[in-house]
Amino acid sequence: MRERLDPESVLREVAGLEGRIEELRRAAELPDADARATLDAALVELELAVAALRTVGGEQGGAAGHTAAAEDERRVLKSVFTDAPVPLFLLDRDAGVRRVNRQAADLLGTSTGYMAGKRFTAFCDLATRAPLRSQLAAVIRTGRRCRVPVRFLGRERPVDAVVTLARVWIRGEPDPMVVAVAGPTTTPVAPAPRSGTAPRSNSIPQGDSVLQGDSVPQGESVARGVDVAGDEAVASLVHRMDVMASVTEMLLDEPVFNETVAARRCARLLATELAEWVVIDLVPQRQADGGGQTAAARNGEGTPRRHVVMGPGEDEDAEDAARRISETDPEPGTLPWTVFETGQSDLRPHAEDLDLLGACSDGRPVLSTIGATSVLCVPVTDGDRAIGTITLAGSGEHGPFALLDLSVCERIGRYLGLVIRAARLYRRRAEVAATLQASLLPRTLPEIDGAELAARYTSATHGTDVGGDFYDAFPAKDGWGLVLGDVCGKGEDAAAVTATARHAVRLVSRWRADPAEVLATVNEALLTEDRFVTAVLAGIAPRGAGMRVTLGVAGHPPAIVVRADGLIRTAARGGVPLGLFGDFEAGLDTLDLAPGDTLVLYSDGVLDACDVTRRQFGRDRLLETLAAHASGPVDDMLGAVERSLLDFCDGDLRDDVSMLALRVLPPSLD
């Protein structure tokens, strides 16, 4: 039929032509693109362009001559849709599905109501969408029938078919429509599923017996179909329960929560079991600590960032695609952004919009890059708000995503969100503990004439509470003071007592030279606290070429003197911990240090460290390590003890470890 195109129609034709040409370009770039089909479609587009140019300014042909034929076609269509034994689709000029018959719905394993209103091309794989769209436009424009090879995305697996397209005129419709007839189909053998993958739905493959002439008796076929459907439904449900259990065990199998590890493990499992591609977007912790996500997003804060992209296998193309997708964050208008803002999950079994997941850095849509036709997206929630999204995308090789997949992923999103919340709380608490712990120790050690100082502090490997160990070196009334102590317990309460004990020792030592008197005064200050403190205090005073050390001990492991020749002397022990009794008495001792001698103070965490058999590091190993490094720098001596300790317990320290050492230097030549 020849028709004159008015300016509005010309603009519409040109816009449609441009859009279809762009789709053909994208389709040609797909790895499994049919070059011949794309070329044929391109030639059709050229023919349409020429035909449109020839009709511009032409006369409107009489449509009345087609009235009888159109009415006949309408009556034929009405009966055909009811009784035809082949799949039939009625499409509008924009390829929207107006109506389908039961056979067409069975072919795709869905319902007639579900398909109505959606794009016909949405039910085809990406490689055939663009050529099909061009052929539909050609049929609408020229009225010539054509046959197009199509790969339908069936519920269970793709179905290859040859579709015949024919233009029809229906009374009451301003534009012509298209009838699509799916001819004899061949259902290819589905690829071997990935390990653990089960069919995504509980429906049975349909269309084979109808379209290929299955010889099995009808009653037997129906019974067999019911059995197969029941078996597949059970297998599908059990598989998803296994996925849920695996995710739960995987996320909780971490003594110390780590959100990056949890997200990557979750993505890897989902990419193995439920989808070809998994993308996880999360709000960084510094942004997630703020207000609500919608207000934050408007202010440019609290926006999700791409965290993990996991694709199928490890081939070069998949890795390149994953890299490009990783370089782009969710943008407003994309599905992950919308799900994050609304907190509502979204399922697109047949994704029509190629820009649904945005575009890569090269401008190519993400869906085209990964060849995905089915998408679902769920929020990652921490119990209070959305902190990210999980997006699954598949090519349809195992059927489109279903509501059961959405339900499973929603639960996984909640699990992952709770783990991330715990990880962030744990990390925040660890940072606070580290900051508080640092404030309880001197930033730097002072310089003491004629002596060399060194210290080591190693926190326990379990837990995030502030430790109770402390040490300090400070000016005293008659020289210098060294103190090392350990508060009973951990946490903020212990930290408060630690600060009180440390600063009280420094303050009192300004006016009192005797360590016993200093400790007695500190004991009075700690009597009101709920925790006790063990400590050793050393008063250092010059004495000839060496130094005299006066020790006060309050229930703490005794100090050690390492002579320059490697001999070891252990100072006296004694006293009771501070803060327990009003009647306090410290253990006392006096030592003389010659040049090269080293005084070592340490916490009980050194002695109590255990190996896997629960043997303690003990006093003998400590003394042997100190003696072996008596001639080296004092910092190297403490480092050797630390390494020996960590090797002994395989890095698993159950208590904090602190050490403080002073070595007398030989007299200078000056």
With both helix axes pointing from N to C terminus, report the angle between 618-628 and 634-648 in degrees, rounded to the nearest 10. Answer: 140
With both helix axes pointing from N to C terminus, report the angle between 218-252 and 403-439 in degrees, rounded to the nearest 10. Answer: 0
What is the per-residue pLDDT across 343-391, written as a single tens digit (0 to 9) for each? 999 999 888 888 999 999 888 899 988 988 899 999 999 878 899 999 9
- 340 contacts 386 by C-beta, under 8 angstroms: yes
Domain for residue 435, yes or no?
A: no
**Does residue 299 share a domain with residue 153?**
no
User: Which residues share a beta bridge with 368?
Assistant: none
**Does residue 614 share a domain with residue 479?**
yes
Residue that terminates a domain, selected from 155, 189, 223: 189
Distance CA 550, CA 556 (A): 15
**Does residue 277 share a domain with residue 242?**
yes
Distance CA 104, CA 126 (A): 20
Distance CA 335, CA 452 (A): 64
Domain that holds residue 51: 7-189
Please give the structure tokens belonging to residue 194: 């990935």
**Does residue 162 share a domain with residue 32?**
yes
Predicted pLDDT of residue 232: 56
- Specify the CATH number for the domain of residue 336: 3.30.450.40
**Does residue 393 share a domain with residue 489?**
no
Strand pairing class (277-282; 305-310): antiparallel
Domain for residue 211, yes or no?
A: no
Predicted pLDDT of residue 298: 36
Positions in the chain short of pLDDT 50: 1-4, 57-66, 187-199, 201-229, 291-301
- Specify the CATH number for the domain of residue 146: 3.30.450.20
Predicted pLDDT of residue 133: 87
Please work out, in degrees rounded to the nearest 5, the angle formed at the alpha carbon of residue 351 by the alpha carbons of 322 and 42: 90
Residue that terminates a domain, selected from 171, 189, 207: 189
**Does residue 265 share a domain with residue 332?**
yes
Predicted pLDDT of residue 377: 96
- Number of domains forming the structure of the chain: 3
**Does residue 453 share a domain with residue 357?**
no
**Does residue 282 share a domain with residue 177?**
no
Domain for residue 232, yes or no?
A: no
Please give the structure tokens belonging to residue 115: 């398909």
Q: Over the range 408-418, which residues count as b (16 or more CB within 10 Å of their CB) and which as e?
A: bbbbbbbbbbb
Predicted pLDDT of residue 62: 44
Per the document, the length of the chain is 670
3-state class percentages of the chain: helix first, strand second, coil last, to nearest 5: 40, 20, 35
- Specify the CATH number for the domain of residue 531: 3.60.40.10
Residues with Cβ within 8 Å of 403's Cβ and at least 6 positions away in sequence, in order, are 347
Distance CA 654, CA 664 (A): 33
**Does residue 496 share a domain with residue 389?**
no
Q: Could you list the beta-strand ranges (E) of 412-490.
A: 451-458, 469-476, 479-487
**DSSP secondary-structure letter at 374?**
E
Report the predicted TM-score, pTM, of the whole model to 2 decimal places.
Answer: 0.54
Predicted pLDDT of residue 216: 37
Domain for residue 195, yes or no?
A: no
Chain position carrying tokens 């020749």: 565
What is the per-residue pLDDT across 613-649, written as a single tens digit (0 to 9) for each? 889 999 999 999 999 998 889 999 999 999 999 999 8
**Does residue 452 share a domain with residue 397?**
no
**Does residue 415 share a domain with residue 319?**
yes
Domain for residue 540, yes or no?
A: yes
Residue that terminates a domain, selected from 379, 405, 430: 430
**Does residue 367 share a domain with residue 303?**
yes
Domain for residue 217, yes or no?
A: no
